[in-house]
Amino acid sequence: MSARTKARKRALDMLFQADVLETTLAEIVSAEAGRALNEPDRVASWIYAREIVDGVADHREEIDELISSYAQGWTIDRMPNVDRAILRLTSWEILYNPEVPAAVAINEAVGLAKQYSTEDSSRFVNGVLGRIAEHAQA
């Protein structure tokens, strides 16, 4: 598993925790930073996970607006927490990280949805992110 794949999983965990615990991302990142200090072999994944989470925090309003507009019939609040976290982290990658091709980001997101969410989530995530990628190219 690549360092970026591990970082996405770590970012997903942090975004999910903040959502479920109804706490700030800053609190979750602070706790995770403490753990990262004791795991030097995971530094590469920590750095990118932190970049993703900070990016989502900085652009949350725009990201949530795009997700809402392309998730036909679904509001952000109605989505499963895991799907919402996957959509947020991958939307940030598509919109704000030119180093990651949209197709790669979407493929990784679909894999996360298959692993951690419902049977239908991977198709839902793929569809929403595909529209966000088209928006980003326009």
SS3 77: helix
**Backbone dihedral angles phi then psi of residue 100, each to the nearest 5 degrees:** -110, 115
Please give the structure tokens belonging to residue 111: 């894999």
Ranges of the chain with pLDDT below 70: none
| Non-local CB neighbours of 46 within 8 Å, separated by 6+ positions | 7, 10, 32, 33, 36, 39
Helix-helix angle 60-70:81-96, to 10 degrees: 110
What Rg, from alpha-carbon coordinates, does the chain have?
A: 14
The pLDDT of residue 81 is: 96
The pLDDT of residue 69 is: 95
Contact call for residues 36 and 13 (beta carbons, < 8 A): no
**What is d(CA 90, CA 33) in angstroms, rounded to the nearest whole number?**
21
The pLDDT of residue 119 is: 85
Contact call for residues 15 and 88 (beta carbons, < 8 A): yes
Q: How far is CA 76 from CA 2, 24, 62, 128, in A?
A: 30, 17, 12, 12
What CATH code is assigned to 3-137?
1.10.940.10
Alpha helices per DSSP H over the chain: 3-21, 25-37, 43-58, 60-70, 81-96, 102-116, 121-137
